[in-house]
Amino acid sequence: MNGVKKISLGLQGGGAYGAFGWGALDCLLADGRLQIDGIGAASAGAINAVVLADGYARGGGPQGARRKLRAFWNALGQSAMMGPMRPTPFDWFSGRGSIESSPGYLLLQLASAGMAPGVMNPLNINPLGTLLASLVDFERVRACEELKLFISGTNVRTGKGHNFRRDELTVDHVMASACVPQVFAPVHIDGEAY
């Protein structure tokens, strides 16, 4: 690996920033001069991190990670096209095709202002968690020794951050990191809410 530089990454959250992060990761993984040694991530960045690790550990190295990230984001985009948050056809034709004009989004904003997540989503249904669990082999992620991986979450009781290590990660750890408190109830891990 002469001439290859090891790097560590910090991947931020923020919903749509995850798609931007995918693009940046795709470029870094394609650059043969770089080797990702470690990743610290939160929220949408945590999702990218475990998808990358799964693709990497599947035996594909950087190219496998790129394929897995592409597959995840394409699947997410396909599911969003049929979801309740999509803009109306009128919004698309008028050039206002953003989520802010979606009736589902506006209803969610109104409801989340006055209701607790447990009331608004009593069954705690999370399609993102279901998609992630179906596409990522967390056993493979935990065994991926080529990458150091840390996913951060916030302990609800203490308000302090907590880093989950690669060797303990499950879909619950990632969903705890990506939990939107106005929409989803906290995720419980080892008796603590995150």
pTM value is 0.82
DSSP, residue by residue, 71-91? HHHHHHHHHHHTSTTSPPHHH
* H/E segment holding residue 5: strand 5-11
Average pLDDT, the chain: 85
Which pLDDT score is estimated for 14?
85
Reply yes or no on whether the pLDDT at 172 is more than 80: yes
Reply yes or no on whether the pLDDT at 110 is more than 90: no
Cα separation of the two ends of the chain = 40
**Lookup: tokens for 27:** 């470029």
Instruction: Select the more confidently predicted residue: 167 or 101.
Output: 167
Reply yes or no on whether the pLDDT at 102 is more than 70: no
**pLDDT class of 77 with cuts at 50, 70, 90:** confident
Which pLDDT score is estimated for 173?
98
Buried b / exposed e over 78-104, threshold 16 CB at 10 Å, is eeeeeeeebbeeebeeeeeeebeebee
CB 26 within 8 A of CB 69: yes
What mean pLDDT do residues 120-145 have? 86
